[in-house]
Amino acid sequence: MLGTDLKPADGDYIWNAGAAFDTGVGDLSNQMKQAMSMLSTSPSDPVYLAQYQEVVSEFSIYRNAQTSTVHALSDVDKTILGNYR
């Protein structure tokens, strides 16, 4: 994941699924920084505020998709392991 030193084990598909989102997160993070910079130069400009809100919303949706994907894969694994008991 972004900003960590953790390394996945070979074949760790849950880690790989989460890491696949990192490129998009980095891009959205850069867009958010740019929108914040523009908004800070003119905080009363409704166009800049709308752009910032749009990017923050996209970022939130993207992160939620990442979390949901990883949780779904984890739940499937737990169910499979539970069936072996």
Q: Which domains, from first to last, does the chain contain? A: 21-83 (1.20.58.90)
Report whether pLDDT(12) > 70.
yes
Give the pTM: 0.68
pLDDT tens-digit profile of 58-74? 999 988 988 898 899 88
Q: How far is CA 20 from CA 4, 13, 15, 55, 57, in A?
A: 15, 10, 9, 20, 20
Q: Distance between CA atoms of 67 and 71, rounded to whole angstroms?
A: 6
